[in-house]
Structure 1
């Protein structure tokens, strides 16, 4: 999809549809006011007569626009001016593009740059517009014999009233396009069924990204023989009961001027299907366990975004991938496994498998002497009980890293909430027979899972994002969300900005 920025007279813009945001109160915004004048107060009359209610998210199509070069107008309600914030701005965008996606049009022009969002500039508004457009046109139809027609929308021009905002808007649109493409890529990987999206399939996706990167991304795949030689026994233990071989996938992006600059490492949980293993899950909604690799999907999506933006940093993306199945070779409750780090783990529940895959991947990350490590995982149902489906849970052994991730989440509007990682919780992982157990009981389940991972992240700044509540939606709108690609991409862009600021100083 294209996102050009326009600085021309709106009344002369030729378009299939002009999108006009409107507040419930106060004067029309600048672009709306100019179009209103050119159309003999068409917009004002619709509002005054009550034909359009500018409540938040309300939309109304005006199929003819006399006096204007545009063929149609789409009025979009912003609600009350005093309540306009990031969340409401995005709700208006989503309503807009869900409506546009249903129209028989190839392109549209929007005027959302006029909307005053406190503490947010033209670049942020352009980015959010591009992301919303790409979210709205996404369809997962790979397995439909007769899929519904895909949305035709392929170009969204963003009109800027102030010429001085054009450069920032272009920059924001570029980021929004890259993030939107990464989010949709992550959604597709998450939505694929477990019989297609296997560890080997993810490895092939990484190799394809590498081939298509023009040399910007190098890829290494560790198969089970290599993992055995390495000593990654806990990752291997997860996949012992499956016919699908496990994989450790490593993607390296070298964008910094100094090739030896410490990289930022992303580690994704890639359990392509999770039955729970011998600790078998209930059958109801087990189909959703294909989403248990959404941490890995978000890492892939972030890699795609990074390749689109080419930030001047070094990054390593590691995906620990396995399928958790029960058979005669499967790991059993009570088994003791030696990790890559050398610690022994008593497996008390084989359904707490994500941390077993991740702990070896975290140890593997040490070799890169990283500037930071962030792991992303659909790790615990307890996280959903704590935070619901709105915020990802954030744990960290470094307060500065935690604040950087929280700030990135606020900018991307892909928010996280900082959870405790106190030593008080570590004793719940005590084992009579091994160095630690893989679960710590029901109390504080998401915290003890993070405590487990922290044992393998003691040599670098590390954070853990538990996305069990945010990675997908259940019910009628079932599907992967693509989160937290926005947060992760913003985090990496912020690290680039720090490097640039340091170089300029």
Structure 2
């Protein structure tokens, strides 16, 4: 897809479709009034009919009259004071997805209404976020296993961003950055959406090898024998139950232990359960098919380090993705088994369906051994977070508030929402075990907080845990996204790493 920024007036831009964002109630004066006049009053007529509204992500297709574009697509952006970066990304996506099934080669989007309303970043931010949204909007998971998909978003030949009176070069650079971030998010989505009989731990490791070679990243993949020798008892407690052996995937940009501009060696750690049956503590049958998505955290960190390498090659960064299948079988861990973690703690496994925290614990310990000074883990960890926050807000924990604030600031730049969940030490006694240092699961009360407290036992550095169990995938399509993996947290991780790029 060719991407270009033009500083012409929107009515002079030639494209198959011109998208016009409407912020607040339609007012037909100024440039919006001129667009209506040249369309032969089509916009006013749509508003009078009730087809053109300010409701966010609502859309209306219209004829273009004397305009240079073939057709008009009006998209509601909501109230100006409520427009934020997340909404701008989703407006870009909703424009692209509204054109599903249409023959569109060139799409032009008028940025000025969004630039005027967005309080944070102006035209440069809008160019990046809209371009990112359009590319994410092209994503169609049905295409993974089908040769053709009816009604799929159009494969654009050209995206034209229309920004009269703005700096063309700056906006072009920003938009290109947005495209790269979106392509990384779509990579993570495809890996996450692929079926479990397609992506085993070994296949995920092979995919990581391919990505590492393409982007000149260092990679090491630890198999079960070496993991056992290293003492990764929690990782192997989960991984040994499946005929598909586990893989601890380690990727690095920059030199071993090298610090970035902010004196950090950041590690991104992602949960990679390629299928989660629950193990001996088996899950109910309902929605078990969704458990192929339990590898989303691993897919996200693999994609994020590749995206950073595309934007700022050589930026010091570590990605660790423990990949397993959690299955019942003759070699599976049983409730009541006690294992020794990589950091030496004895863990009483009371519930084999609380497996994500086990593999993450050993992965974070290993990341610290490789020189990590700051850690972020990303995981579809608990159903409790989805029940508490739904599918629009990611739950987050932090050890050292300053590091947590850095991560959330990166999320703000990325247009992603987080809500801090406290680590309450009063709950720690509930996690004590007669047989080990702690148990991996306990009572339902406060279980979300306890999941974070468990993970905290395996880090000694500044650390943030992002529980994406609610936000990792949508069960039904929205105006701005297909059903399936969302790519959540990818942009946050990229922004976090790039903050330290030289």
Decide which moves more: 146-155 or 26-35: 26-35
Cα shift readout 1:380-407 (whole Å, capped 9, x = no counterpart): 1111122222211111111011111112
Offset at 1:90? Answer: 4.5
What is the rounded CA distance, in whole Å, between the counterparts of 2:275 and 2:220 in structure 1? Answer: 23
Decide which moves more: 1-10 or 323-332: 1-10
After TM superposition, the structure 1 = structure 2 runs for residues 430-469 of structure 1, keeping only pairs within 5 Å, are 430-458=432-460, 460-469=461-470
Counterpart residue number, 2:111: 112
Secondary structure (helix, strand or coil) at the match of 1:3 reads strand
Counterpart residue number, 1:291: 293
Counterpart residue number, 2:488: 483
What is the rounded CA distance, in whole Å, between the counterparts of 1:255 and 1:5 in structure 2? Answer: 37
Secondary structure (helix, strand or coil) at the match of 2:493 reads helix
What is the rounded CA distance, in whole Å, between the counterparts of 1:42 and 1:245 in structure 2? Answer: 65
Q: What TM-score, normalized by structure 1, do the two folds share? A: 0.91
After TM superposition, the structure 1 = structure 2 runs for residues 22-421 of structure 1, keeping only pairs within 5 Å, are 22-25=22-25, 27-28=27-28, 31-36=31-36, 39=38, 42=41, 45-46=44-45, 49-50=48-49, 52-56=51-55, 57-66=57-66, 68-86=67-85, 88-115=87-114, 116-140=117-141, 141-144=143-146, 147-148=149-150, 150=152, 151-164=154-167, 166-213=168-215, 215=216, 217-254=217-254, 262-310=264-312, 313-421=315-423
Offset at 1:220? Answer: 0.8
What is the rounded CA distance, in whole Å, between the counterparts of 1:40 and 1:204 in structure 2? Answer: 53
What is the rounded CA distance, in whole Å, between the counterparts of 1:473 and 1:59 in structure 2? Answer: 21
| Higher RCO by CA contacts (8 Å cutoff, separation 6 or greater) | 2
Offset at 1:3? Answer: 2.8
What is the rounded CA distance, in whole Å, between the counterparts of 2:257 and 2:444 in structure 1? Answer: 47
Offset at 1:41? Answer: 5.5
What is the rounded CA distance, in whole Å, between the counterparts of 1:134 and 1:44 in structure 2? Answer: 27
What is the rounded CA distance, in whole Å, between the counterparts of 1:412 and 1:159 in structure 2? Answer: 22
What is the rounded CA distance, in whole Å, between the counterparts of 1:159 and 1:80 in structure 2? Answer: 22
Cα shift readout 1:353-373 (whole Å, capped 9, x = no counterpart): 111111111110112332311
Cα distance change, pair 46–255 in 1 and its aligned pair in 2 (3 A): farther
Q: What TM-score, normalized by structure 2, do the two folds share? A: 0.91
Counterpart residue number, 1:12: 12
Counterpart residue number, 1:503: none
Offset at 1:313? Answer: 2.9
Cα shift readout 1:201-238 (whole Å, capped 9, x = no counterpart): 1100111011211x2x1111111121122111210110
What is the rounded CA distance, in whole Å, between the counterparts of 2:496 and 2:439 in structure 1? Answer: 32
Mapped contact 2:88–2:133 kept (Cα < 8 A): no
What is the rounded CA distance, in whole Å, between the counterparts of 1:193 and 1:381 in structure 2? Answer: 21
Mapped contact 1:114–1:160 kept (Cα < 8 A): no
Decide which moves more: 369-378 or 302-311: 302-311
What is the rounded CA distance, in whole Å, between the counterparts of 1:493 and 1:325 in structure 2? Answer: 38
Q: Are 1:424 and 2:426 counterparts? A: yes
Cα distance change, pair 482–45 in 1 and its aligned pair in 2 (3 A): closer
What is the rounded CA distance, in whole Å, between the counterparts of 1:3 and 1:79 in structure 2? Answer: 26
What is the rounded CA distance, in whole Å, between the counterparts of 2:241 and 2:74 in structure 1? Answer: 56
Q: How many residues align?
A: 491
What is the rounded CA distance, in whole Å, between the counterparts of 1:432 and 1:446 in structure 2? Answer: 22
Mapped contact 2:239–2:325 kept (Cα < 8 A): yes
Mapped contact 1:178–1:304 kept (Cα < 8 A): no
Decide which moves more: 27-36 or 179-188: 27-36
Offset at 1:331? Answer: 0.4
What is the rounded CA distance, in whole Å, between the counterparts of 2:239 and 2:258 in structure 1? Answer: 38
What is the rounded CA distance, in whole Å, between the counterparts of 1:448 and 1:326 in structure 2? Answer: 25
What is the rounded CA distance, in whole Å, between the counterparts of 2:357 and 2:79 in structure 1? Answer: 46
What is the rounded CA distance, in whole Å, between the counterparts of 1:169 and 1:412 in structure 2? Answer: 17
Offset at 1:51? Answer: 6.7
Cα shift readout 1:107-146 (whole Å, capped 9, x = no counterpart): 1110124322122322221122112212221112222365
Offset at 1:11? Answer: 3.3
Secondary structure (helix, strand or coil) at the match of 1:4 reads strand
Unaligned stretches of 5+ in structure 1? Answer: 501-505
Decide which moves more: 479-488 or 319-328: 479-488
What is the rounded CA distance, in whole Å, between the counterparts of 1:395 and 1:290 in structure 2? Answer: 25
RMSD: 2.5
Mapped contact 2:212–2:306 kept (Cα < 8 A): no
What is the rounded CA distance, in whole Å, between the counterparts of 2:148 and 2:5 in structure 1? Answer: 36
Cα distance change, pair 364–147 in 1 and its aligned pair in 2 (3 A): same
What is the rounded CA distance, in whole Å, between the counterparts of 2:378 and 2:78 in structure 1? Answer: 36
Counterpart residue number, 2:474: 473
Cα distance change, pair 256–71 in 1 and its aligned pair in 2 (3 A): farther
What is the rounded CA distance, in whole Å, between the counterparts of 1:126 and 1:400 in structure 2? Answer: 30
